[in-house]
Amino acid sequence: MSTAPRAPLMSLDDALQALLARITPLSAVESVATLDADGRILAQDLVSALQVPAFDNSSMDGYAVRSDDVQHIGSELTVTQRIAAGHFGEALLPGQTARIFTGAPVPPGADAIVMQEQVQPVSGQDSQRVRFLTTAQPGQWIRRSGEDVVAGDTVLRRGQKLGPAELGLAASLGLAHVNVVARPKVALFSTGDELVMPGDVAPADMPPGAIYNSNRFFLRALLHRLGCEVSDLGIVPDRREATVAALKTAADHHDLILTSGGVSVGEEDHVKPAVQSLGELSLWQIAMKPGKPFAYGHVRRDTGPGAAHFVGLPGNPVSSFVTFLLLVKPLILALQGAVSKPPVPYQLPAHFELTKADKRREFLRVRRNAQGGLDLFPNQSSGVLTSVVWGDGVVDNPAGQTINHGDLLHFWSFSEWLS
């Protein structure tokens, strides 16, 4: 009996391109307080209605002067006013100087600031006079109006993730609220009769063949880090009707359904036929290690228009973890209209050897050492979650490539990948 030839494995880059081509950004927009917008994705460009700074101001505590009056060391001027931040001074006439403080508006007529450390009072005078221990150049220690932001500038772009610096910039434009993309609603569940929740059964009482559901914990945490609203549907039994019921419930109220396990073609893998009965599903075999099996599709909604995206991840924890970062994270960012950028690879030397090349692109768990090189975790199995905790990143190793001690490798940092 002849067997149909197996389809070639899909490259990771092709899989990501195909996945993102199926994503349309969510249309729902929310107005949130700028103070509460950390981690959210902008839904529209932010255009400044004002100059920042709004006026020329001093960047130092010191004295505002007309630079022509301070062309010689030892020049003396009369102090005629004191200008603090939040107060405007009067015009400065020739022979006059103003005591000024950081952030205060530069008075008309002044074109330079001299630091207070370079000025000393002149004693024995009825009027308040000061002597300058340096010369002054036009523009020194003055922050010009608009040097940070010019009115009409687009300072933050639609699709940009808001972090602490971006929130400060938005506040400097007077924005108490910003429009952001609504949080993606994600339903999460695991399949497998072998799965047990921590706390339900003590380690000593675990039945034969049972394992704790670790995937649920790190997937939920990763989704929260991406700003998702997560509905945790728990563990779904390995039965077709239970899987169909879970998918129907999830599709009606969520943008994405994310599962781990059960997307193979075994008799107890019910996710594939259940999704196909409610929509459509494609099983992708990706040329990457760990994380070869990946499922993507849609589940039709019983209420409301359209369908929910479906992603099925491998059941092995390291495969699920790495595949999430490589494929699911870009998908979720695309739903929010954000551009996904892979972590910037660092060129670091291998302090190990890999003598057996794999046919697939490998993501090896490694850790930077005190000598600036990379150490390899000894067990690269897709079920060894300690490799992700021990490591601080992965090496992106091309298919068919061995590694010699001292080779420069592409290192991706978990800290940047997870930010």
Which amino acid is residue 127, in one-letter code? Answer: S
CATH topology of domain 38-49+152-181: Molybdopterin biosynthesis moea protein, domain 2 (3.90.105)
Which own/partner pairs from 193-197 qualify as long-range (CB within 8 Å, at least 24 positions apart)?
A: 193/237, 193/238, 193/268, 195/235, 195/261, 197/234, 197/235
- CATH superfamily, region 346-417: MoeA, C-terminal, domain IV (2.40.340.10)
Can you give the residue ranges of every domain in the chain? 12-25+183-335, 38-49+152-181, 57-143, 346-417
Give the 3-state secondary structure of residue 118. helix
Instruction: Please tell us whether the domain made up of 57-143 is placed in CATH 2.170.190.11.
Output: yes
The pLDDT score that the predictor gives to residue 1 is: 45
38-49+152-181: same fold as 12-25+183-335?
A: no
CATH among 3.30.1330.10, 3.40.50.1820, 3.40.980.10, 2.60.40.10 for 12-25+183-335: 3.40.980.10
The pLDDT score that the predictor gives to residue 58 is: 98
| E strands present in 102-240 | 112-115, 119-121, 129-132, 142-143, 154-156, 177-181, 185-191, 195-196, 211-212, 229-236
- Reading the chain (419 residues) residue by residue, the pLDDT tens digits are 445 556 689 999 999 999 999 999 999 999 999 999 999 999 999 999 999 999 999 999 999 999 999 999 999 999 999 999 999 999 999 999 999 999 999 999 999 999 999 999 998 766 799 999 999 999 999 999 999 999 999 999 999 999 999 999 999 999 999 999 999 999 998 887 788 888 888 999 989 988 888 899 999 999 999 999 999 988 888 888 988 999 999 999 999 999 987 665 554 467 888 999 999 998 889 999 999 889 999 999 988 778 999 999 988 999 999 999 999 999 999 999 987 777 789 999 999 999 999 999 999 999 999 999 999 999 999 999 999 999 999 999 999 999 999 999 999 999 988 88
Q: Of 283, 293, 269, 244, which is closest to residue 192 (Cα–Cα)?
A: 269
The CA distance from 321 to 218, in Å, is 8
